[in-house]
Amino acid sequence: MNLFPTDTDVVIIGTGPLALIEGLRLSEAGRQVTFIDSSEVIGGSWRSLSCFGFENIEVGVHLIENRFLVNQWMQDQLGTQFLDQGNQMDFGLVKGKHLSISTTRILLHSLVTGKALLCGRFGAASRTFLSACRAVTQFNTPFLYPNGGFSLLIQVLVEQLKSHNAAFVFGTNIRLLSPKSNNILLILDRGELEAKQVVMFSRAHAPIDSLLNFNDYIEVGQNHSIVLLLLGSAITFNGYVEILGDRLLKKVRNIGLFTRPIPKNGHSLICVQTRQNNGFNQDKIIHKKLIDIGLLDSKTLLLDSFRDTFTLKTLSQSAARMINNRFDPKIVVHESTDFADCIETKLKK
């Protein structure tokens, strides 16, 4: 699948779910699509890793917002037999108090809106306020999870793309996009490629010739995750937990059901996403913290841990609009990174 064509209709940078869905839309319209990803692992920030002999461990700890149209789309893609709707126990943990996950999402979006307003980030405040409003209107819509994890959704999209002869090039960086009169020249680590159009996303992008200060528009951040291998299956939740008001933990989700093969013989897995990589013995500190707040039974033992750090380089909204105004339709930048917002927008068209 790691083909390297010399020319193509459309190059899509990155292989996250939104990129795959956009590529599928273009492929179904008869366009030849080539994906280019600097990583060797498909999925972008949704990528899954392998450790301790288990596969498809989702270290991103992401959550798809509960939207009726998005749920229906996922069911159409995966079939209802793949969606675990009956055994979820999602909740929010706000200063030790349990709230429903729907209530917690409203609270979270509202808090982020208030913080953005205080910092004078009015564009961000507007977006998160809309998210809070959507969370209110979709309050009774359930959160859905594929039984095989969201990596299953990635796999289904890739199989559809392969059936449309889409090409995938992994492990190479795009050094420069150079717009020409009739096409775009892409200069890569491994050679050159010509395309009629390039589609980028705010978290998957490449520098453009004549925009010499491109890097000034990029914000760099990191996601830190720790996978804990435990002896004992006494994890007290199944699904997703949003933790607010705790300086150590950002999000926690039991991913024991989202690995293949499923852990057995008294073992279990849990993935924790933290705000920063605090150094040595953090795994033991987190294990104790999960016990203290009631997410793990006190008899659960920590056997081993696996750390993962993923760097996110996000193109600013102003830069995305500048590129679209100057180069569209040759170069198109999708600004939003929220999966549910993007899918819902497409479905309403």
Distance, in Å, from the CA atom of 340 to the CA atom of 33, rounded to the nearest integer, reads 23
Task: List pLDDT tens digits, range 129-187.
Answer: 999 999 999 999 988 877 777 888 898 999 999 999 999 999 999 999 999 988 999 99
Percent of the chain with pLDDT over 90: 43
pLDDT in the model for residue 257: 66
Cα 58 from chain centroid (whole Å): 10
Cα atoms found within 13 Å of the Cα of residue 289, Cβ hemisphere only: 19
pLDDT in the model for residue 107: 93
The rounded radius of gyration (Å) of the Cα atoms in the chain is 21
**Average per-residue pLDDT in the chain?**
86
pLDDT at 33 over 80: yes
Distance, in Å, from the CA atom of 18 to the CA atom of 202, rounded to the nearest integer, reads 11
pLDDT in the model for residue 25: 93
Top CATH class of 7-49+149-218+313-348 equals alpha beta
Distance, in Å, from the CA atom of 327 to the CA atom of 324, rounded to the nearest integer, reads 5
Task: List pLDDT tens digits, range 67-77.
Answer: 999 999 988 88
User: If we measure between CA atoms, which residue out of 256, 70, 257 comes closest to residue 146?
Assistant: 257
Lowest mean pLDDT across 20-29, 78-87, 190-199, 297-306: 78-87
Distance, in Å, from the CA atom of 321 to the CA atom of 198, rounded to the nearest integer, reads 15
3-state SS, residue 125: helix
pLDDT winner (highest mean) among 11-25, 82-96, 222-236: 11-25
3-state SS, residue 109: helix
Structure-token match 């795009």, residue found: 174
pLDDT winner (highest mean) among 61-65, 76-80, 299-303, 333-337: 299-303
